[in-house]
Structure 1
Amino acid sequence: MGTVIIFALVALLALYGIVRTLREKNILGFLFGLGAFAVFGWFTVMTILHHGFPTGTH
């Protein structure tokens, strides 16, 4: 379940990259950021829905 947390952080960084590239008017960076956010965000959401939110104990 640690990978879900890491992928969620990557999705958040991709979202930050999307916002930053919009300010700089960088279309290619926006497209790559949007793709990364879509892939990592979808994986994170579906894993949390399927396996539940990761807890500290096993």
Structure 2
Amino acid sequence: MGTVIIFALVALLALYGMFRTLREKNVLGFLFGLATAAVFGWFTIMTILHQGIPTGTH
């Protein structure tokens, strides 16, 4: 279940990068950030829906 946490962190960092590239008016960086946030955000949502929220106990 660590995969969900890693995917979520990557998606959040991609969102941060997207907004940062907007300030710098870097279109290519914004597009790559958007694609990364979309893909990893989708993986995060689907993993949570399919396997549940990680509880930390086994």
Tell me if TM exceeds 0.5: yes
How far apart are the structure 1 equivalents of 2:7 and 2:55? 16
How far apart are the structure 2 equivalents of 1:5 and 1:50? 14
Give me the CA root mean square deviation: 0.5
Tell me the matched-pair count. 58
TM-score, length-scaled by structure 1: 0.97
Extract unaligned runs of 5+ from structure 2. none
Q: 2:44 is matched by which residue type in structure 1?
A: T
Sequence identity percentage: 84
How far apart are the structure 2 equivalents of 1:17 and 1:25? 12
Q: 2:48 is matched by which residue type in structure 1?
A: I
Extract unaligned runs of 5+ from structure 1. none
TM-score, length-scaled by structure 2: 0.97
Matched, 1:57 2:57: yes
How far apart are the structure 1 equivalents of 2:38 and 2:56? 27
1:3-46 per-position Cα deviation (integer Å, ceiling 9, x unaligned): 11011000000000000000110000000000000000000001
Matched, 1:38 2:28: no
